[in-house]
Structure 1
Amino acid sequence: VRRVSSWTLDLDRLFDSVTAKTKLLLIVTPSNPTGWVMKPHEIKAVLEFARARGIWIIADEVYSRIVFDGGRSASFLDYALPDDRLFVVNSFSKAWAMTGWRLGWLVGPADSENSVRDLALYDNMGPPTYAQYGGIAALRHGEPFIQEQVSLWKSNLDLVMDRFNSNGRIKMQRPEATFYAFFSVDGEPDCMSLVKRIIDDGNLSLAPGCAFGKCCAGWIRMCFAVSEQKIVESLDRLEKVVRPQ
């Protein structure tokens, strides 16, 4: 994902990067940290491209339920064929706030089941029983919780956007999904140096964009999946360092 006038996935650049040695494409949608969401026509294009070349796709869709226009984001599973070389990864960590439970699921070709099971057995032996029962409860009864959380996060996002717009120095495109504000600050090209100053002078910990790759250098990530009170306090602390114009 890169930013031109907005965050986007340059499909031509992606496809041009593929060589005879390419075995797999990893796609994260919705995107952490940008909040970008892949559109159906882009998903179809990637599927067709990979299908024609026998390339595997791993689609990380763990933020698929945290979208601000309602429902969920488009999934590779919406457009895949039964024999596509595709794995789709999802998790209870984000939408159901079960981060420490380390519980999720994987959808893939039926003939991969034994290999995936063997890998999981050697890697983690499987999730504990209580976590599995928690996942069942989330699927059966957790829809109101998701709606409540997304409503809170959307309200928090509105608050963040208002404060950033009034600041004058902070620039951010409104994310389509996730619970992250990904922003830059005029006159502050070194995101690592800035986040260190924000810790020292504002007692606020944020993630430097350079941790997510070269395309995100100069940007900073702030999580707004907290109470409104904490968001207001965090913004106040941020503006101790990034003073409004």
Structure 2
Amino acid sequence: MTQSTETTSYKDIKKTVLARIRSGEWQPDSLLPNEQDLAAEFSCTRTTVNRALRELADEGYLERRRKAGTRVLSAPQRQARFSIPMVRDEVEATGGTYRYALVSAETTVAPDWLTARLALRPDQSTVHVRCMHFSGNTPFQYEDRWIVVDSVPQVAQADFSAIGPNEWLIQTVPFTNVELSFLASRADATVARFLDLPEGEPVFTGERITWLEGQPVTYAKMYFGAGYRMTTQF
């Protein structure tokens, strides 16, 4: 096959490698030529080849092991990627008018269940924020969030009367790790009242924990109103 000259990009290499995998030229579990040989074939640098193969590995087509080489995976391992948008952006993306309302905010010692979940000390202080997000006058999300004061000292002086805790956290502190779960729960009396649902009604629920360099930052549960849709691509 005739390859392009020195102008070959990593995208060109990705496209060719993927075509060879899909056509069966490179079979599942087979080893690819080494980077030096591929660089010679494509008339490019090893750095360009490395980027192409690294991205294909990230996308689930290849497995790369030091000294063992790069092989074709027998079954592509595709990964779904989720962004963590601000609720304001989600509402406005649907054409709605975003509105926020604080329900309560208090500084309190972490309850036992949260201490166990986040591996906190028994006496650690948290800020517990409950708030509502609306699309126009329609309930969009009820948020129940705990923020660990030791990890985010600024939260002790934060005013959540005009800005939601998620939006405040995004502006204030980075995070390095996220645990994100989705579940169907039944609306208890509080959730039912805020989302205008019958008590016991199934409700789409998101649960999120974030850490900064191993330190727990926040635990949140988000309950969504009727008709909420989450879409991801992979």
Q: Larger Rg: 1 or 2?
A: 2
Higher RCO by CA contacts (8 Å cutoff, separation 6 or greater): 1
Q: Normalising by structure 1, what TM-score?
A: 0.20
Higher helix share: 1
Q: Normalising by structure 2, what TM-score?
A: 0.20
